[in-house]
Structure 1
Amino acid sequence: MRKIIKYFLFIVVILFHTVLFAGIHFIFPHYDTTYITGVEVKRVDKDGPITKANPADGPTRDVYYIYTKKADEEKPMVYRNEDTRWGFPFYFKFGSADLQAKASNFAGNKQMVEVKYYGWRLVIFDEYRNMISMKEATEASPSMPILSYIFYVLGLITLFFSIQFIRGWFDSEA
Protein backbone atom coordinates (compact mmCIF):
# COMPACT_ATOMS: atom_id res chain seq x y z
CA MET A 1 0.00 0.00 0.00
CA ARG A 2 2.88 2.37 0.83
CA LYS A 3 4.33 1.81 -2.64
CA ILE A 4 1.01 2.77 -4.27
CA ILE A 5 0.79 5.97 -2.23
CA LYS A 6 4.42 6.79 -3.07
CA TYR A 7 3.82 6.41 -6.83
CA PHE A 8 0.52 8.26 -6.57
CA LEU A 9 2.36 11.22 -5.00
CA PHE A 10 4.99 11.03 -7.77
CA ILE A 11 2.23 11.24 -10.38
CA VAL A 12 0.58 14.19 -8.58
CA VAL A 13 3.88 16.09 -8.38
CA ILE A 14 4.69 15.41 -12.05
CA LEU A 15 1.19 16.45 -13.17
CA PHE A 16 1.40 19.62 -11.07
CA HIS A 17 4.73 20.55 -12.63
CA THR A 18 3.44 19.75 -16.13
CA VAL A 19 0.59 22.22 -15.61
CA LEU A 20 3.08 24.71 -14.14
CA PHE A 21 5.38 24.44 -17.19
CA ALA A 22 2.40 24.79 -19.56
CA GLY A 23 1.30 27.92 -17.68
CA ILE A 24 4.80 29.40 -17.92
CA HIS A 25 4.90 28.67 -21.65
CA PHE A 26 1.47 30.26 -22.19
CA ILE A 27 1.87 33.38 -20.05
CA PHE A 28 5.47 34.50 -20.58
CA PRO A 29 6.49 36.19 -23.83
CA HIS A 30 8.13 34.52 -26.81
CA TYR A 31 9.67 35.98 -29.96
CA ASP A 32 9.36 35.26 -33.69
CA THR A 33 11.20 36.83 -36.60
CA THR A 34 8.80 37.04 -39.52
CA TYR A 35 7.30 39.10 -42.35
CA ILE A 36 3.91 40.77 -41.94
CA THR A 37 1.70 39.94 -44.91
CA GLY A 38 -1.55 41.63 -43.92
CA VAL A 39 -3.82 43.04 -41.24
CA GLU A 40 -7.53 42.80 -40.56
CA VAL A 41 -10.16 43.93 -38.06
CA LYS A 42 -13.10 41.67 -37.13
CA ARG A 43 -16.13 42.37 -34.97
CA VAL A 44 -16.48 39.55 -32.42
CA ASP A 45 -18.70 38.57 -29.52
CA LYS A 46 -18.35 35.83 -26.92
CA ASP A 47 -18.84 33.14 -29.61
CA GLY A 48 -16.21 34.45 -32.03
CA PRO A 49 -16.32 36.50 -35.25
CA ILE A 50 -19.75 37.76 -36.23
CA THR A 51 -21.04 36.19 -39.45
CA LYS A 52 -24.38 35.13 -40.90
CA ALA A 53 -23.91 31.78 -39.19
CA ASN A 54 -22.97 33.47 -35.88
CA PRO A 55 -25.08 36.62 -35.40
CA ALA A 56 -24.27 38.98 -32.53
CA ASP A 57 -26.06 37.88 -29.38
CA GLY A 58 -24.45 40.12 -26.78
CA PRO A 59 -21.79 42.77 -26.37
CA THR A 60 -19.34 43.01 -29.26
CA ARG A 61 -15.82 44.34 -29.69
CA ASP A 62 -13.25 44.81 -32.44
CA VAL A 63 -10.32 42.43 -32.55
CA TYR A 64 -7.30 43.10 -34.72
CA TYR A 65 -5.58 40.26 -36.55
CA ILE A 66 -2.07 40.35 -38.00
CA TYR A 67 -1.06 37.82 -40.67
CA THR A 68 2.60 36.81 -40.88
CA LYS A 69 4.82 34.39 -42.76
CA LYS A 70 8.33 33.27 -41.89
CA ALA A 71 10.90 33.41 -44.67
CA ASP A 72 11.72 29.69 -44.45
CA GLU A 73 8.16 28.34 -44.03
CA GLU A 74 5.15 28.02 -46.28
CA LYS A 75 2.59 28.02 -43.48
CA PRO A 76 1.33 31.47 -42.37
CA MET A 77 0.74 32.42 -38.73
CA VAL A 78 -2.11 34.59 -37.49
CA TYR A 79 -1.72 36.72 -34.37
CA ARG A 80 -4.47 38.38 -32.39
CA ASN A 81 -3.73 41.99 -31.46
CA GLU A 82 -5.90 42.75 -28.47
CA ASP A 83 -5.37 44.96 -25.44
CA THR A 84 -4.75 43.18 -22.15
CA ARG A 85 -5.49 46.38 -20.22
CA TRP A 86 -5.45 45.64 -16.47
CA GLY A 87 -6.33 41.95 -16.88
CA PHE A 88 -4.32 38.79 -16.66
CA PRO A 89 -1.65 38.26 -17.94
CA PHE A 90 -0.42 41.64 -16.77
CA TYR A 91 1.19 43.16 -19.86
CA PHE A 92 -0.78 46.43 -19.44
CA LYS A 93 -1.17 46.71 -23.21
CA PHE A 94 -3.42 49.60 -24.24
CA GLY A 95 -2.19 50.50 -27.75
CA SER A 96 -3.46 47.72 -30.00
CA ALA A 97 -4.68 50.23 -32.63
CA ASP A 98 -1.20 51.79 -32.76
CA LEU A 99 0.38 48.34 -33.06
CA GLN A 100 -2.04 47.54 -35.90
CA ALA A 101 -0.98 50.70 -37.76
CA LYS A 102 2.66 49.79 -37.24
CA ALA A 103 1.97 46.28 -38.59
CA SER A 104 0.24 47.74 -41.64
CA ASN A 105 3.30 49.90 -42.29
CA PHE A 106 5.66 46.91 -41.98
CA ALA A 107 3.42 44.91 -44.35
CA GLY A 108 3.56 47.68 -46.96
CA ASN A 109 7.35 47.96 -46.72
CA LYS A 110 7.87 44.15 -46.66
CA GLN A 111 10.31 44.47 -43.75
CA MET A 112 11.42 41.64 -41.49
CA VAL A 113 10.10 42.20 -37.96
CA GLU A 114 10.62 40.68 -34.54
CA VAL A 115 7.28 39.91 -32.92
CA LYS A 116 6.82 39.57 -29.15
CA TYR A 117 3.75 37.50 -28.20
CA TYR A 118 2.22 35.24 -25.58
CA GLY A 119 -0.25 32.39 -25.81
CA TRP A 120 -0.78 29.47 -28.13
CA ARG A 121 -2.24 29.02 -31.58
CA LEU A 122 -4.90 26.33 -31.11
CA VAL A 123 -6.69 25.82 -34.42
CA ILE A 124 -9.33 23.48 -33.01
CA PHE A 125 -10.45 26.14 -30.48
CA ASP A 126 -9.92 29.10 -32.84
CA GLU A 127 -7.42 30.54 -30.35
CA TYR A 128 -4.62 32.87 -31.48
CA ARG A 129 -1.34 34.08 -30.01
CA ASN A 130 -1.68 37.67 -28.75
CA MET A 131 0.95 40.04 -30.11
CA ILE A 132 2.39 42.36 -27.47
CA SER A 133 4.83 44.38 -29.55
CA MET A 134 6.94 44.37 -32.69
CA LYS A 135 10.10 46.02 -33.90
CA GLU A 136 12.21 45.98 -37.01
CA ALA A 137 14.45 42.91 -37.01
CA THR A 138 18.18 43.51 -36.97
CA GLU A 139 21.10 41.31 -37.96
CA ALA A 140 21.98 40.87 -34.28
CA SER A 141 20.83 37.76 -32.50
CA PRO A 142 17.09 37.63 -31.84
CA SER A 143 15.62 38.29 -28.41
CA MET A 144 15.39 35.37 -26.03
CA PRO A 145 12.67 34.66 -23.44
CA ILE A 146 15.11 34.82 -20.51
CA LEU A 147 12.42 35.13 -17.83
CA SER A 148 10.76 31.95 -19.12
CA TYR A 149 14.06 30.12 -18.93
CA ILE A 150 14.56 31.25 -15.33
CA PHE A 151 11.10 29.97 -14.33
CA TYR A 152 11.67 26.67 -16.17
CA VAL A 153 14.90 26.13 -14.21
CA LEU A 154 13.16 27.00 -10.93
CA GLY A 155 10.37 24.55 -11.85
CA LEU A 156 12.88 21.80 -12.56
CA ILE A 157 14.57 22.46 -9.22
CA THR A 158 11.25 22.24 -7.34
CA LEU A 159 10.38 19.05 -9.27
CA PHE A 160 13.71 17.48 -8.31
CA PHE A 161 13.38 18.41 -4.64
CA SER A 162 9.73 17.32 -4.50
CA ILE A 163 10.61 13.88 -5.86
CA GLN A 164 13.58 13.60 -3.49
CA PHE A 165 11.37 14.62 -0.55
CA ILE A 166 8.78 11.95 -1.39
CA ARG A 167 11.47 9.29 -1.87
CA GLY A 168 13.15 10.24 1.42
CA TRP A 169 9.85 10.33 3.27
CA PHE A 170 8.83 6.82 2.20
CA ASP A 171 12.31 5.25 2.26
CA SER A 172 13.09 6.50 5.80
CA GLU A 173 9.99 4.82 7.26
CA ALA A 174 10.67 1.44 5.68
Structure 2
Amino acid sequence: MIKFIKRICVSFVVLLHLFLALVVDYSFPHYASVQITGGDVKRMDKDGIIDAKNPADGPVRDVYFIYAKDAQNDQKVMAYRNEDTAWGFPFYFKFNSADIQAMAQGFANSDNNVTIKYYGYRISMLNEFRNVISIKDSGTNTSWPIASYVLYFILFISLIIWIRKINKAFAPKVENLETKKEAL
Protein backbone atom coordinates (compact mmCIF):
# COMPACT_ATOMS: atom_id res chain seq x y z
CA MET A 1 0.00 0.00 0.00
CA ILE A 2 2.87 2.36 0.81
CA LYS A 3 4.43 1.78 -2.61
CA PHE A 4 1.10 2.62 -4.24
CA ILE A 5 0.78 5.90 -2.33
CA LYS A 6 4.42 6.71 -3.12
CA ARG A 7 3.77 6.14 -6.84
CA ILE A 8 0.69 8.36 -6.71
CA CYS A 9 2.69 11.15 -5.02
CA VAL A 10 5.53 10.89 -7.54
CA SER A 11 3.04 10.81 -10.44
CA PHE A 12 1.27 13.89 -9.10
CA VAL A 13 4.55 15.81 -8.72
CA VAL A 14 5.71 14.82 -12.23
CA LEU A 15 2.36 15.80 -13.79
CA LEU A 16 2.35 19.11 -11.90
CA HIS A 17 5.84 19.92 -13.17
CA LEU A 18 4.90 18.94 -16.73
CA PHE A 19 1.89 21.24 -16.53
CA LEU A 20 4.05 24.11 -15.24
CA ALA A 21 6.57 23.49 -18.05
CA LEU A 22 3.72 23.71 -20.59
CA VAL A 23 2.54 26.99 -19.03
CA VAL A 24 6.07 28.39 -19.32
CA ASP A 25 6.38 27.17 -22.92
CA TYR A 26 2.99 28.62 -23.88
CA SER A 27 3.29 32.01 -22.22
CA PHE A 28 6.95 32.93 -22.70
CA PRO A 29 8.06 34.47 -26.00
CA HIS A 30 9.35 32.53 -28.99
CA TYR A 31 10.95 33.94 -32.12
CA ALA A 32 10.54 33.06 -35.80
CA SER A 33 12.39 34.43 -38.81
CA VAL A 34 9.76 34.72 -41.54
CA GLN A 35 8.75 36.57 -44.67
CA ILE A 36 5.31 38.15 -44.28
CA THR A 37 2.99 37.39 -47.19
CA GLY A 38 -0.20 39.14 -46.08
CA GLY A 39 -2.68 40.04 -43.42
CA ASP A 40 -6.37 39.86 -42.73
CA VAL A 41 -9.03 41.01 -40.27
CA LYS A 42 -11.74 38.58 -39.19
CA ARG A 43 -14.71 39.05 -36.93
CA MET A 44 -14.83 36.54 -34.09
CA ASP A 45 -16.98 35.65 -31.12
CA LYS A 46 -16.55 33.13 -28.31
CA ASP A 47 -17.00 30.24 -30.78
CA GLY A 48 -14.37 31.39 -33.27
CA ILE A 49 -14.47 32.99 -36.70
CA ILE A 50 -17.93 34.17 -37.75
CA ASP A 51 -19.11 32.76 -41.08
CA ALA A 52 -22.16 31.03 -42.58
CA LYS A 53 -21.56 27.91 -40.46
CA ASN A 54 -20.95 29.88 -37.26
CA PRO A 55 -23.26 32.91 -36.97
CA ALA A 56 -22.61 35.50 -34.27
CA ASP A 57 -24.37 34.66 -31.03
CA GLY A 58 -22.86 37.12 -28.58
CA PRO A 59 -20.31 39.89 -28.30
CA VAL A 60 -17.94 40.03 -31.27
CA ARG A 61 -14.46 41.44 -31.82
CA ASP A 62 -12.20 42.04 -34.79
CA VAL A 63 -9.02 39.95 -34.78
CA TYR A 64 -6.04 40.64 -37.03
CA PHE A 65 -4.21 37.77 -38.70
CA ILE A 66 -0.72 37.80 -40.17
CA TYR A 67 0.29 35.22 -42.78
CA ALA A 68 3.94 34.35 -43.33
CA LYS A 69 6.29 31.77 -44.77
CA ASP A 70 9.45 30.48 -43.17
CA ALA A 71 12.60 32.35 -44.18
CA GLN A 72 14.54 29.12 -44.83
CA ASN A 73 11.73 26.94 -46.21
CA ASP A 74 9.21 28.54 -48.61
CA GLN A 75 6.89 25.53 -48.28
CA LYS A 76 6.39 26.04 -44.56
CA VAL A 77 3.64 28.62 -44.01
CA MET A 78 2.40 30.02 -40.72
CA ALA A 79 -0.60 31.99 -39.57
CA TYR A 80 -0.40 34.26 -36.54
CA ARG A 81 -3.14 35.97 -34.56
CA ASN A 82 -2.50 39.61 -33.72
CA GLU A 83 -4.77 40.43 -30.82
CA ASP A 84 -4.32 42.68 -27.79
CA THR A 85 -3.68 40.87 -24.53
CA ALA A 86 -4.82 43.95 -22.57
CA TRP A 87 -4.66 43.18 -18.84
CA GLY A 88 -5.17 39.41 -19.17
CA PHE A 89 -2.89 36.39 -19.08
CA PRO A 90 -0.17 36.20 -20.30
CA PHE A 91 0.72 39.62 -18.99
CA TYR A 92 2.30 41.31 -22.01
CA PHE A 93 0.00 44.36 -21.66
CA LYS A 94 -0.21 44.58 -25.44
CA PHE A 95 -2.49 47.35 -26.70
CA ASN A 96 -0.95 48.00 -30.14
CA SER A 97 -2.27 45.26 -32.41
CA ALA A 98 -3.40 47.79 -35.05
CA ASP A 99 0.11 49.27 -35.17
CA ILE A 100 1.68 45.83 -35.47
CA GLN A 101 -0.78 44.98 -38.26
CA ALA A 102 0.23 48.15 -40.13
CA MET A 103 3.90 47.20 -39.76
CA ALA A 104 3.12 43.69 -41.01
CA GLN A 105 1.33 45.09 -44.08
CA GLY A 106 4.38 47.24 -44.78
CA PHE A 107 6.67 44.23 -44.56
CA ALA A 108 4.30 42.20 -46.78
CA ASN A 109 4.89 44.67 -49.61
CA SER A 110 8.65 44.08 -49.40
CA ASP A 111 10.63 40.86 -49.61
CA ASN A 112 12.47 41.48 -46.33
CA ASN A 113 12.72 38.82 -43.68
CA VAL A 114 11.40 39.83 -40.29
CA THR A 115 11.63 38.43 -36.79
CA ILE A 116 8.27 37.78 -35.18
CA LYS A 117 8.10 37.55 -31.41
CA TYR A 118 5.07 35.48 -30.36
CA TYR A 119 3.62 33.28 -27.66
CA GLY A 120 1.24 30.34 -27.79
CA TYR A 121 0.70 27.32 -29.99
CA ARG A 122 -0.74 26.73 -33.43
CA ILE A 123 -3.30 23.96 -33.01
CA SER A 124 -5.29 23.52 -36.22
CA MET A 125 -7.93 21.21 -34.76
CA LEU A 126 -8.82 23.74 -32.06
CA ASN A 127 -8.51 26.76 -34.39
CA GLU A 128 -5.82 28.14 -32.06
CA PHE A 129 -3.16 30.54 -33.37
CA ARG A 130 0.10 31.93 -32.04
CA ASN A 131 -0.30 35.56 -30.93
CA VAL A 132 2.20 38.12 -32.23
CA ILE A 133 3.83 40.36 -29.62
CA SER A 134 6.12 42.35 -31.90
CA ILE A 135 7.64 42.46 -35.38
CA LYS A 136 11.15 43.68 -36.18
CA ASP A 137 13.25 43.75 -39.31
CA SER A 138 15.72 40.85 -39.23
CA GLY A 139 18.57 43.32 -39.71
CA THR A 140 18.04 44.82 -36.25
CA ASN A 141 19.49 43.33 -33.09
CA THR A 142 17.19 40.69 -31.67
CA SER A 143 17.69 39.60 -28.09
CA TRP A 144 16.92 35.95 -27.46
CA PRO A 145 15.71 35.79 -23.88
CA ILE A 146 16.86 33.01 -21.61
CA ALA A 147 14.12 33.40 -18.99
CA SER A 148 12.19 30.36 -20.21
CA TYR A 149 15.35 28.21 -20.11
CA VAL A 150 16.09 29.41 -16.59
CA LEU A 151 12.53 28.48 -15.55
CA TYR A 152 12.87 25.04 -17.20
CA PHE A 153 16.06 24.50 -15.19
CA ILE A 154 14.37 25.62 -11.96
CA LEU A 155 11.42 23.30 -12.66
CA PHE A 156 13.81 20.40 -13.29
CA ILE A 157 15.68 21.04 -10.03
CA SER A 158 12.35 21.37 -8.20
CA LEU A 159 11.20 18.05 -9.67
CA ILE A 160 14.36 16.31 -8.47
CA ILE A 161 14.04 17.83 -4.98
CA TRP A 162 10.38 16.80 -4.66
CA ILE A 163 11.03 13.25 -5.85
CA ARG A 164 13.90 12.94 -3.34
CA LYS A 165 11.63 14.27 -0.55
CA ILE A 166 8.94 11.74 -1.45
CA ASN A 167 11.46 8.89 -1.55
CA LYS A 168 12.83 9.97 1.84
CA ALA A 169 9.34 10.25 3.35
CA PHE A 170 8.39 6.75 2.23
CA ALA A 171 11.75 5.10 2.99
CA PRO A 172 11.58 2.35 5.60
CA LYS A 173 12.61 3.64 9.01
CA VAL A 174 15.64 1.87 10.50
CA GLU A 175 15.71 1.94 14.27
CA ASN A 176 18.90 2.02 16.23
CA LEU A 177 19.71 -1.49 17.50
CA GLU A 178 21.13 -0.20 20.79
CA THR A 179 17.88 1.50 21.74
CA LYS A 180 16.04 -1.71 20.90
CA LYS A 181 18.29 -3.75 23.20
CA GLU A 182 17.80 -1.27 26.02
CA ALA A 183 14.06 -1.54 25.64
CA LEU A 184 14.24 -5.31 26.19
Query: Fold match, TM over 0.5?
Result: yes
C-alpha RMSD of the superposition: 1.4
Which secondary structure does the structure 2 equivalent of 1:121 belong to? Answer: coil
Are the equivalent residues in 2 in contact too, given 1:31–1:145 (CA < 8 A)? no
> Number of residues paired by the alignment?
173
Equivalent in the alignment of 1:127: 128
Equivalent in the alignment of 2:113: 112
> Runs of 4+ in structure 1 displaced over 4 angstroms?
none
Equivalent in the alignment of 1:103: 104
| CA-CA distance at 1:58 after TM superposition | 1.1
Equivalent in the alignment of 2:62: 62
| CA-CA distance at 1:48 after TM superposition | 1.1
| CA-CA distance at 1:169 after TM superposition | 1.3
Residue 151 (1) aligns with residue 151 (2)? yes
Separation of aligned partners in 2, 1:173 and 1:59: 62
Equivalent in the alignment of 1:36: 36
Gaps of at least 5 residues in structure 1 are none
% identical equivalent positions? 49
Are the equivalent residues in 2 in contact too, given 1:33–1:113 (CA < 8 A)? yes
| CA-CA distance at 1:54 after TM superposition | 1.2
The superposition leaves residues 81-139 of structure 1 with CA deviations (integer Å, 9 ceiling, x where unpaired) of 00001111110100100000000001101210111000100111000000000100138
Separation of aligned partners in 2, 1:70 and 1:145: 21
Q: TM-score if structure 2 supplies the norm length?
A: 0.90
Gaps of at least 5 residues in structure 2 are 175-184
* Paired amino acid for 1:122: I
| Larger-gyration structure (1/2) | 2
Separation of aligned partners in 2, 1:55 and 1:2: 55
Are the equivalent residues in 2 in contact too, given 1:31–1:143 (CA < 8 A)? no
